[in-house]
């Protein structure tokens, strides 16, 4: 029989992955019939009620291979998505009784765990769809696992248009299945459903296209639509008023529309669009415009008023705005004057007030209107020298309803001056600092129509370009921006924050920073903040001799005997040296003589000897280095005791040196006497003073009181708390298992097993005096009240990232989870904390929204809409904010994991910087192009010259897990018989201390390895191992799940060599469809059965540890097994004492819970690095307070 191509429709649901290169039309082609062999039929066959197994159905499990099915590359760490497959000649039945289950029951009821499907399975890839092979045996006959979800009439939205997916879908644990044609025995149980499904699809597809068309027009249009789409389809003759109003179809329609109403996504939006249409009103007059609220429908994301006002313009998802009478005030705009405008060159230009300099003036008069230094003016738009910014300024995304914002520019007059031009004579000019309208910045569509931001850019302009005065109201630091006002005058704007266009940060320049910038202006009659900042930057780039000896360069003072980093021509890892002498300081390229210090780990290669990446040895090697190659200071000491040594190296850039060698490649190392190591006394004292200040702050001030939202297992809280500056007092998490884990490891924290919307509603209602019911958890237990206003100093968390994850190939622009960032920032509006931190996957940078801000006339999505919302809402609340992509591997995590971090601070608090990358992780962060033409570059050393230089090597897999008990899986020899060589190899590995354990399923045990705690077999072999061990003396969770014999046999046969995978298996164990013709792995499968590199790093941590699936590079580097739960936890930097709990009793489900908690966590070392930067901000804040107190005392009459 000829196999016909069945076009693939769009995926129906949030977890399905449609292959990006196969977006075919969703209508079905000719059906594919492959009859399951059954008993011979009589001429009149009775209706069959039960499924008759053939006997050779394959089980749907991890071992199922579907020819042609591709596996996507994984680079983001979230793996909640599954493949899409076709299920042909199918039946749905109860696996205990084999009784057929009509598909209509799946629509009406929640699937039973005993309901399964069976049929021929094929992939949706081109290889399988386009095949012309006549043999039905190409497709495996499969009995599916339990049906988890049923989906019909999925709605896709593109701008303001909607389309319906005609496919019918089943979801199991392993895949989404598109239902093709039923088997002949099951067809009678599917027939009526399919007829109703087809009628509904055509009816609502037409309504989606023409919701306002008359009833008669649409009724006449439906048959032609059916004929056009389906040719001689039986439905063509069945479309009639009677069919559309028959009781069975009305029941079907009501059921589907109820599902749409409760969906809180584009299905609900389409429902609201068509339910009022003339045809629906005509055919179904009793159909309600809204169905009764259910638990699902009531869970619209809760937001606070000001955040909600912004979110509702950027998101189409339903939001519930909670009413607040206090919190962020809306300061009304003051009355403004109406200024004359200069539509052409002024007729009369006269200088006003002069200054001591005859060519510098304080004011000018244009046609009778006076403009003075300090005024903000509107000027005619010119030509922006930055081509990309100029291009995006006139794009549709930068459109604003305020014509002045679109057509004019804004600047502040710093001073007026005149300048003689040979051919033109004396020209009247003014020096201006630019402001930029929000719509012209990265915010684009999300910007307030009256918001201007200061730029650190200035320019000389002719006075003739002045258009008019600008009514600009400086906004008080920390105050929220005014609400949008469509009725106010066009010439009315406000400003407060400065936009640093180089790193896309919104900051508040303090009085001290402004005074410092102005102090660098060479002429006090020509003050300009951007000029001063440029002068300061230029001065710091120079190498200037110091009066006390030494040199200052890039803002750092260097002296003889200082320890410095300098470039390594062979890579990013910096060399360390000690300054011996400066030379050629008067030349363009000053030089410095440095004594080289070697790294202990570079010369001691024996893995049985503990490594230490903070240990150095002094040498007699002295070299000349250009000052421009110096990359900041290192700090080296020779502590006299182990305790002092460990205290010293806790800080970044701190090393210790207790060894000596004549060269950098010695055969042996000598003990260095502490007196042989000298320092620059001045700089060493400054370092000790800084450490003392930090210690004093921790002793005298309470830690920041932290509230974590979407806390998961607690990786972020653990790292922040380890920094010493944060104490997580409250945590919110929806998963019951994750809550148990968090509480077990943060026993002093209050943990709320509840969704964040419910808690926000409750705390606001409580503050408003509404006396809501007591809080209860998702399991019904009582919860303590949420903290009150004024009790929370720091809010942090990572909203669920599945809607942004790069491996989710079926992202929906209106995924309800995308609005959880709105909910999180609403907590900021209510609590007004000092600091805010939001983390998420890199995919959030690509997440659009589909609202229609500022009455935009265009029907389009908002590029990077989620990021724009986060920045806009935080600045609207009066917060400084910046964001970067950070690579966890650069901060001491032994794996690659990119995270986007948003850091915010109130305007009265120094904005924390991002932590400086410390470790030489091999994969660098790639820059990200932004919608306004800017680029978000990786965060580099702030004292460097633009290169990705770091001070420490990456943490390798060996350093992370090399000290844990060793074990192999036992080879089941399912395919390859056991040989004498296998026996000898097993004995040799046992002699090395590697035991062999059963790994195939066992009736008595489900976990293998060390299911119970076990002692460490040896002391720690690296600084990382010492750190994660802490005070623990036992290893827990050092086990894996058991796998089928086929999986185990493949795992143990993967060669023990870095990067080995399924392509390196013995030929008899290989899976041909994963291989290229030359025997190499297809690019999509390179990680399947992949072995980790012992001298490299882990892949991004996944939420499952499956060797035979995508991201399956989880085989231990030197042992024949996959990594254990404890090893996965170490890959994320969790301490060995950390417990991972579950609400489940079955071992496998418990293990899956543990893996999911670990994989979803923020790496602990990255969180700790962020916490240290928060601490540095607190230290700066404390210094500012002391300085202000000193100034106040000096000017106090009582103390005079």
Task: List, by residue number, the catalytic residues.
Answer: 801
Q: If we measure between CA atoms, which residue out of 196, 217, 193, 197 comes closest to residue 207? A: 217
In three-state secondary structure terms, 493 is strand
Which structure tokens are listed for 848? 């659009």
DSSP string, 1077-1118: TTSPBPGGGTTTTPBPPTTS-BPPP-S---TTSTT---B-SS
> Helix/strand/coil (H, E, C) string of 1-41?
CCCCCCCCCCCCCCCECCCCCCCCCCCCCCCCCCCCCCCCC
Q: If we measure between CA atoms, which residue out of 157, 144, 26, 170 comes closest to residue 84? A: 170
Do residues 473 and 334 touch, judged by C-beta distance below 8 A?
yes
Tell how many helices (H) and how many strands (E) occur in the chain: 28, 50
Q: If we measure between CA atoms, which residue out of 339, 402, 410 comes closest to residue 381? A: 410
How far is residue 1140's CA from residue 980's CA, in Å, rounded to a whole number? 41
How far is residue 540's CA from residue 551's CA, in Å, rounded to a whole number? 11
How far is residue 918's CA from residue 558's CA, in Å, rounded to a whole number? 21
- Report the side by side order of strands in the sheet with 556-558: 544-545, 551-553, 556-558
DSSP strand E in 844-975: where?
A: 879-887, 898-906, 919-920, 928-929, 935-936, 952-953, 967-969
Residue 303 CA, chain-centre distance (Å), reads 21
Residue 1181 contacts by C-beta under 8 Å, 6 or more apart in sequence? 909, 910
DSSP string, 694-719: HHHHHHHSPPEEEEEES-TTSHHHHH
Pairing of strands 726-732, 670-671: unpaired
Which structure tokens are listed for 404? 């002045």
Residue 437 CA, chain-centre distance (Å), reads 28
Give the burial class of 703: count Cβ atoms within 10 A of its Cβ; 0-12 exposed, 13-18 middle, 19 or more buried.
buried
- The dihedrals phi and psi of 1197, each to the nearest 5 degrees, come to -65, -30
Where would I find the H helices in 35-186?
103-108, 126-129
Q: Which H or E run includes 995?
A: strand 995-997
Length of the chain measured in residues: 1200
Angle at 257 between CA 26 and CA 253, to 5 degrees: 80
Which structure tokens are listed for 408? 């004019």
- The dihedrals phi and psi of 337, each to the nearest 5 degrees, come to -75, 160
Residue 680 contacts by C-beta under 8 Å, 6 or more apart in sequence? 559, 560, 561, 562, 579
DSSP string, 758-826: HHHHHHHHHHTT--PPPPB-TTS-B-PPPPPTTS-SEEEE----TTT-TT-TT--TT-GGGGHHHHHHH
Which structure tokens are listed for 444? 């684009």
How far is residue 881's CA from residue 837's CA, in Å, rounded to a whole number? 9
How far is residue 640's CA from residue 658's CA, in Å, rounded to a whole number? 9
Query: How many Cβ atoms from other residues are within 10 Å of residue 395's Cβ?
Result: 13
């Amino acid at each position: 029989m000829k196999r016909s191509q069945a076009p693939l429709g769009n995926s129906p649901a949030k977890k399905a992955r449609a292959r990006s290169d196969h977006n075919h039309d969703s209508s079905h082609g000719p059906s594919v019939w492959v009859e399951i062999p059954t008993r011979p039929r009589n001429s009149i066959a009775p209706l069959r009620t039960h499924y008759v197994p053939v006997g050779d159905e394959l089980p749907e499990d991890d071992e199922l291979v579907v020819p042609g099915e591709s596996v996507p590359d994984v680079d983001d760490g979230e793996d909640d998505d599954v493949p899409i497959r076709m299920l042909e000649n199918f039946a749905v039945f109860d696996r205990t009784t084999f009784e057929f289950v009509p598909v209509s029951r799946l629509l009406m009821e929640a699937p039973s765990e005993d309901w399964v499907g069976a049929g021929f399975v094929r992939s949706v890839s081109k290889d399988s769809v386009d095949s012309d092979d006549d043999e039905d045996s190409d497709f495996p006959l499969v009995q599916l696992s339990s049906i988890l979800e049923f989906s019909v009439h999925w709605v896709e939205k593109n701008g303001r248009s909607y389309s319906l997916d005609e496919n019918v879908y089943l979801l199991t644990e392993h895949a989404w299945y598109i239902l093709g044609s039923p088997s002949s025995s099951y067809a009678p149980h599917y027939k009526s459903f399919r007829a109703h499904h087809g009628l509904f699809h055509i009816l609502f597809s037409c309504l989606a296209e023409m919701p306002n068309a008359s009833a008669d027009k649409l009724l006449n249009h439906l048959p032609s639509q059916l004929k056009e789409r389906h040719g001689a389809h039986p439905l063509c003759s069945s479309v009639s008023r009677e069919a559309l109003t028959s009781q069975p179809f009305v029941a079907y329609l009501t059921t589907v529309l109820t599902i749409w109403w409760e969906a809180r996504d584009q299905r609900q939006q389409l429902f609201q669009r068509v339910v009022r249409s003339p045809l629906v009103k005509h055919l179904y007059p009793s159909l309600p415009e809204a169905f009764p609220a259910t638990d699902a429908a009531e869970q619209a994301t809760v937001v606070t008023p000001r955040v909600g006002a912004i979110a509702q313009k950027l998101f189409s998802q339903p939001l519930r705005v909670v009413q607040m009478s206090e919190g962020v005030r809306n300061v009304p705009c003051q009355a403004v004057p109406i200024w004359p405008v200069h539509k052409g060159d002024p007729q009369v230009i006269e200088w006003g007030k002069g200054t001591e300099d005859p060519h510098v003036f304080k004011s000018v008069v244009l046609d009778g209107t006076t403009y003075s230094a300090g005024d903000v003016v509107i000027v005619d738009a010119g030509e922006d020298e930055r081509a990309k910014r100029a291009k995006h300024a006139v794009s549709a995304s930068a459109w604003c309803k305020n014509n002045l914002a679109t057509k004019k520019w804004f600047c502040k007059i710093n001073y007026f001056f005149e300048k003689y031009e040979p051919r033109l004579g004396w020209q009247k000019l003014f020096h201006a600092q630019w402001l930029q309208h929000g719509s012209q910045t990265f915010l684009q569509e999300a910007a307030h129509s009256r918001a201007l931001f200061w730029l650190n850019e200035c320019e000389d302009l002719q006075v003739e370009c002045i258009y008019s005065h600008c009514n600009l109201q400086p906004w008080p630091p920390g105050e929220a921006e005014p609400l949008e006002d469509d009725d106010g005058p066009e010439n009315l704007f406000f400003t407060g924050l400065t936009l640093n266009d180089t790193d896309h940060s919104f900051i508040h320049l303090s009085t001290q920073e402004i005074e410092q910038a102005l102090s660098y202006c060479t002429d006090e009659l020509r003050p300009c903040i951007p000029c001063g900042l440029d002068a300061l930057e230029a001065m710091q780039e120079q190498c200037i001799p110091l009066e006390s000896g030494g040199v200052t360069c890039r803002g750092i003072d260097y002296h003889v005997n200082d320890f410095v980093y300098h470039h390594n021509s062979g890579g990013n890892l910096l060399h360390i040296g000690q300054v011996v002498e400066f030379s050629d300081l008067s030349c363009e390229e000053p030089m410095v003589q440095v004594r080289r210090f070697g790294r202990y780990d570079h010369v001691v290669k024996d893995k049985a000897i503990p490594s230490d990446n903070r240990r150095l040895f002094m040498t007699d090697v002295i070299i000349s280095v250009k000052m421009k190659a110096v990359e900041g200071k290192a700090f080296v000491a020779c502590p006299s005791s182990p305790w002092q040594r460990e205290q010293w190296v806790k800080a970044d850039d701190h090393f210790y040196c207790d060894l000596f060698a004549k060269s950098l490649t010695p055969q042996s190392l000598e003990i260095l006497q502490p007196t042989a190591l000298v320092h620059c006394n001045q700089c060493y004292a400054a370092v000790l003073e800084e450490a003392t200040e930090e210690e004093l702050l921790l002793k005298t001030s309470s830690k920041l009181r932290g509230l974590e939202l979407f806390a998961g297992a607690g990786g972020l809280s653990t790292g922040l708390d380890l920094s010493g500056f944060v104490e997580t007092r409250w945590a919110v998490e929806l998963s019951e298992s994750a809550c148990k884990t968090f509480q077990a490891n943060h026993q002093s924290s209050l943990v709320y097993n509840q969704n964040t919307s419910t808690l926000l509603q409750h705390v606001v209602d409580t503050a408003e005096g509404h006396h809501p019911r007591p809080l209860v958890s998702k399991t019904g237990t009582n919860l303590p009240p949420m903290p009150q206003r004024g009790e929370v100093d720091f809010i942090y968390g990572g909203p669920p990232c599945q809607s942004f994850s790069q491996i989710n190939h079926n992202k929906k622009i209106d995924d309800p989870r995308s609005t959880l960032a709105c909910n999180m920032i609403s907590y900021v509006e209510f609590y007004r904390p000092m600091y805010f931190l939001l983390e998420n996957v890199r995919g959030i940078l690509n997440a659009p929204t589909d609202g229609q801000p500022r009455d935009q006339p265009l029907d389009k999505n908002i590029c990077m809409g989620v990021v724009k919302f986060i920045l806009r809402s935080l600045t609207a609340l009066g917060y400084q904010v910046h964001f970067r992509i950070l690579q966890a591997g650069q901060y001491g995590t032994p794996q690659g994991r990119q995270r986007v971090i948003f850091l915010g601070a109130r305007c009265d608090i120094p904005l924390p910087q991002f932590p400086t990358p410390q470790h030489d992780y091999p994969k660098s962060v790639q820059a990200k192009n932004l919608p306004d033409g800017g680029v978000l570059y990786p965060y580099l050393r702030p004292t460097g010259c633009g290169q990705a230089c770091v001070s420490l090597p990456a943490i390798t897999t060996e350093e992370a897990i090399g000290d844990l008990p060793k074990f192999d899986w036992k080879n089941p020899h399912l395919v390859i018989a056991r040989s004498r060589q296998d026996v000898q190899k097993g004995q040799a590995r046992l002699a090395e201390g590697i035991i062999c354990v059963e790994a195939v399923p066992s009736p008595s045990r489900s976990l293998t390895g060390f299911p119970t705690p076990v002692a460490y077999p040896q002391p720690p072999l690296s600084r990382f191992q010492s750190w994660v061990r802490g005070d623990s003396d036992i290893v827990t969770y050092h086990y894996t799940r058991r796998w089928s014999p086929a999986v185990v046999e493949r795992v143990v046969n993967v060669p023990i060599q870095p990067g080995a995978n399924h392509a390196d298996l013995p030929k008899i164990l290989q899976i041909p469809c994963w291989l290229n013709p030359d025997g190499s792995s297809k690019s999509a499968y390179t990680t399947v059965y992949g072995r980790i590199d012992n001298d490299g790093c882990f892949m991004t941590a996944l939420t499952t540890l499956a060797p035979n699936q995508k991201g399956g590079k989880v085989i231990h580097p030197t042992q024949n097994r996959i990594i254990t739960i404890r090893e996965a936890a170490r890959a994320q930097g969790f301490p060995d004492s950390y417990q991972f709990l579950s609400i489940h009793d079955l071992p496998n489900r418990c293990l899956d819970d543990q893996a999911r908690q670990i994989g979803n966590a923020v790496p602990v070392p990255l969180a700790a690095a962020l916490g240290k930067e928060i601490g540095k901000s607190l230290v700066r804040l404390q210094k500012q307070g002391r300085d202000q107190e000193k100034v106040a005392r000096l000017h106090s009459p009582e103390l005079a």
